[in-house]
Amino acid sequence: MSFLIQYDIDPDKVHLIPGLRPLHLAHVEAAASIINLAGLTRRADDAALERSFFILNVDDRAAAEKFSNGDPYVKEGIFHMTHIARFEKRVGWAE
């Protein structure tokens, strides 16, 4: 089952990213087997980070929430206003 996790990125906390990036990447690496896709978006002027997302292959919403809650960016408030929903692929990556 797939779940989409979307985060808004707090522009007032972007300066914390470099110091937490190694911990965030370790969290992502540890979960690599359940991550189908991850990325981010930028504002229209291409300068500021806007949102981040993950598409996870997990058993249920609780597993998606556990992944999200374990992310150092979430713990420190860089990622906020989390949205988690079932994701249904229509076209895209091969299985």
Q: What is the mean predicted confidence (pLDDT) over 63-78?
A: 96
b/e code 71-88 from CB counts within 10 Å (16+ = b): bbbbebebbeeeebeebe
Q: Which of 21-25, 80-84, 91-95 has the highest mean pLDDT?
A: 21-25
Cα(94)–Cα(88) distance, rounded to whole angstroms? 14
| DSSP secondary structure code for residue 11 in this structure | T
pLDDT, the chain, mean: 92
**Token pair 């992944």: residue:** 67
In the chain, the domains with their CATH numbers are 2-87 (3.30.70.1060)
Q: Which tokens go with 16? A: 């914390």
7-53 residue pLDDT tens: 999 989 989 999 999 999 999 999 999 999 999 998 888 677 889 99
For 1-95, where are the E strands, in sequence order? 2-9, 35-42, 49-57, 79-87
pLDDT of residue 90: 81
